[in-house]
Amino acid sequence: MSTQTSTQTNAEKPQHSETYQVFTNTQGVHNLAVGTGDYKHKKPVFKTKEEEREHQLIHMAAACRYIAKINAIEGSAGHMTIKDPVDPSTIWITPIGVHWSKMKKSDMIHIKEDGSEILEDGNTTHSANIAGLTIHTALHQSRKNVNAAVHFHSIYGKAWSTFGRPLDMINQDVCILYKCHTVYENFGGVVLEKEEGERLAKQLGSNNKAILLQNHGLLTVGESIDEAIYLFGLMERSCQIQLLVEQTQLPKKIISDEEAYYTYYNTSDPEILYAEFQPDYEVLEAEDDSFKN
Ligand SMILES: [Zn+2]
């Protein structure tokens, strides 16, 4: 595995905002760093698809432990998936019955997207959540750049989701979600039907990175599991902040569209969002790296 400087240009510009001024022409971590040292957490470039799979599965297991660490869990509810880099008609999904804080690479279930076959190079001793498979399959199929998806019934996300309102642009960090998160109002109970997954994929659309599922929880996607898990944590904390702010009932200053877009453009591309999770990954690794097994 090696790293190299890369320039992300694939983030879509929000359609509505034609008047903003962009001060840099490219996105990526190079916009955030200055100094003689190399930027440490560049997105890796893999020699083989097998190497990429190994990396994604290890980081997926670490992401599960991160979810436990930030107390974003409610029993067995929630799931994570990655599209298999080797065979994109298959996905890897978290199992039911393993505590999120104990998850390992070898716990991940390798399954055909339509659920028709469990592959033997993954966990064959546990089952996957059928609602998770239904939703995530529709999301992975809906957009080429949805390689990872994360969904949990986290405390603050679930609380804010009650109002059916998107997050206000009230601080720099939440601008990462500027015009790229949405509210899904149609809570239809536990998702078992294929149509519900397709409705969620439609809601995700061509540009969204996150969905607030009303009366339910949060869902984020990414080009990498690192991006999706960072966005999940960010969204959960942003819901917490919005709830804190609302409690004061004082008038809010909302960041202008131009400033919000500028911040979004410079801090919300797949390379930076990958990098944002790496310090947390390294802490998890230093504490207990058994998730790699
Ligand atoms: Zn759910």
The amino acid present at 291, given as its one-letter code, is F
Gyration radius of the chain's alpha carbons: 18
Ligand 1 centroid–CA 289 distance in Å is: 28
How much is the pLDDT for 6? 38
Asked if residue 234 belongs to a domain, the reply is: yes
Could you tell me the residue range of the domain that residue 141 belongs to? 46-286
CATH number at residue 253: 3.40.225.10
Asked if residue 73 belongs to a domain, the reply is: yes
| Local structure of residue 68 (DSSP, 8 states) | H
Ligand 1 centroid–CA 151 distance in Å is: 7
Ligand 1 centroid–CA 187 distance in Å is: 10
How much is the pLDDT for 17? 45
Identify each DSSP E strand in the chain by its residue range: 2-3, 44-45, 79-83, 90-93, 109-112, 148-152, 181-184, 210-213, 217-222
Q: How far apart are CA 205 and CA 256, in angstroms?
A: 24
Q: pLDDT of 102-126, one tens digit each? A: 999 999 999 998 888 999 999 999 9
Asked if residue 61 belongs to a domain, the reply is: yes
Asked if residue 293 belongs to a domain, the reply is: no
Q: How far apart are CA 1 and CA 223, in angstroms?
A: 18
Ligand 1 centroid–CA 143 distance in Å is: 21
Phi, psi of 77 (to 5 degrees): -65, 145
How much is the pLDDT for 19? 45
Asked if residue 27 belongs to a domain, the reply is: no
Number of domains in the chain: 1
Ligand 1 centroid–CA 5 distance in Å is: 37
- Strand 148-152 and strand 210-213: pairing? unpaired
Asked if residue 22 belongs to a domain, the reply is: no
**CA distance to 117, 158, 203, per residue, from 114 (Å):** 8, 29, 21
Asked if residue 74 belongs to a domain, the reply is: yes
How much is the pLDDT for 115? 86
Asked if residue 14 belongs to a domain, the reply is: no
How much is the pLDDT for 24? 57
Ligand 1 centroid–CA 42 distance in Å is: 32
How much is the pLDDT for 132? 85
Ligand 1 centroid–CA 169 distance in Å is: 25
Phi, psi of 89 (to 5 degrees): -85, 5
What is the three-class DSSP state of 132?
A: helix
Written as tens digits, the pLDDT of the chain (293 aa) is: 444 433 334 444 544 444 444 555 677 777 666 666 677 788 899 999 999 999 999 999 999 999 999 999 999 999 999 999 999 999 999 999 999 999 999 999 999 988 889 999 999 999 998 888 888 999 999 999 999 999 999 999 999 999 999 999 999 999 999 999 999 997 766 556 678 888 899 999 999 999 999 999 999 999 999 999 999 999 999 999 999 999 999 999 999 999 999 999 989 999 999 999 999 999 999 999 999 99
